[in-house]
Amino acid sequence: MAPPTLLVLISGSGSNLQALIDATKSTPPLLSATITHVISNKKAAYGLTRAANAGIPTTYHNLVPYKKKHPTTEAAREAYDRDLAAHILKHKPDMVVCAGWMHILSPTCLGPLQGAGVDIINLHPALPGCFDGAGAIERALEAWERGEIDKTGVMIHHVITAVDRGTPIVVREVPFVEGDTLERVEERIHAVEHVEIVKATRIALDQRRERLEKS
């Protein structure tokens, strides 16, 4: 039986994509899956280079042409998301992994994917219910500096319309330490992410397989 296929969405450096690539290529594989395509919304995303170096086809899905063509930002994002779903479904992945994907996926994108039975998971550098959205690490550090929290963390969750509110798959706490800076916290969080995204993807694929076996 062929291993399940993953399509990875990125926007930046792609260090978490690299963790997934390495996990699929390790001996024995830490992740029994094939990454068949990578899509970025940023042309300069180094993750596109990482994918190319691994022999994985890529797509740069650019929002700018949509903003030029459509009268409002809302209409542009609607058309962009519709085409994003089409790009994804063209590759028939079993699962989509948002690994630093910095766009909110609207129901226009999520609907067709869910209708096609494609699971979507997301990596978020915070604990469930905390610092939803972009800039989570910075906001957590600021809350710690105000004495409001003593730890942050990493979670990988199922993606629903409500941003970062899907059911968690893996949650890992990352305590703050005295003298912490953004750079130090980011370094500790990324190290945790690179382990947990592989674990969570494996768990989510197992959940998918068990669900399909029951249906």
Ligand X SMILES: NCC(=O)N[C@@H]1O[C@H](COP(=O)([O-])[O-])[C@@H](O)[C@H]1O
Ligand Y SMILES: Nc1nc2c(c(=O)[nH]1)N[C@@H](CN(C=O)c1ccc(C(=O)N[C@@H](CCC(=O)O)C(=O)O)cc1)CN2
Integer CA distances (angstroms), 134 to 24, 102, 139, 158, in order? 28, 7, 9, 17
Among residues 182, 205, 120, 195, the alpha carbon closest in space to that of 154 is found at 195
166 contact choice in ligand Y, ligand X, none (CB below 5 to 8 Å, kind-dependent): ligand Y
Catalytic residue among 37, 61, 103, 124: 124
Q: How many CB atoms lie within 10 A of CB 12?
A: 18
Question: Hey, which bits of the chain come out as E strands?
Answer: 5-10, 34-40, 58-60, 95-98, 119-124, 151-158, 168-175
Per-residue x/- mask for ligand Y, residues 115 to 154, rule CB under 6 A?
-------x-x--------xx--------------------
**Among 52-60, 87-95, 98-106, 182-190, the segment contacting ligand Y (CB under 6 A):** 98-106
Respond yes or no: is residue 37 known to be catalytic: no
Choosing from 50, 61, 77, 124, the residue that interacts with ligand X (CB under 6 A) is: 124
Contact set for ligand Y, span 149-188 (CB under 6 A): 159, 161, 163-164, 166
Q: Which two tokens stand for residue 100?
A: 């630093």
From the list 14-22, 68-76, 89-97, 113-121, the region that binds ligand X by CB under 6 A is 14-22
**How many residues in the shown chain lie near ligand X by CB under 6 A?**
17
Q: Of these partners, ligand X, ligand Y, none, which one is at the site of residue 100 (CB under 5 to 8 Å by kind)?
A: ligand X
In angstroms, the CA 40 to CA 178 distance is: 36
Residue indicated by tokens 């604990």:
127
Helix (H) or strand (E) holding 12: none
Judged by the rule CB under 6 A, the positions of this chain that interact with ligand X are 10, 12-17, 47, 99-100, 123-125, 134, 136, 190, 193
Active site residues: 124
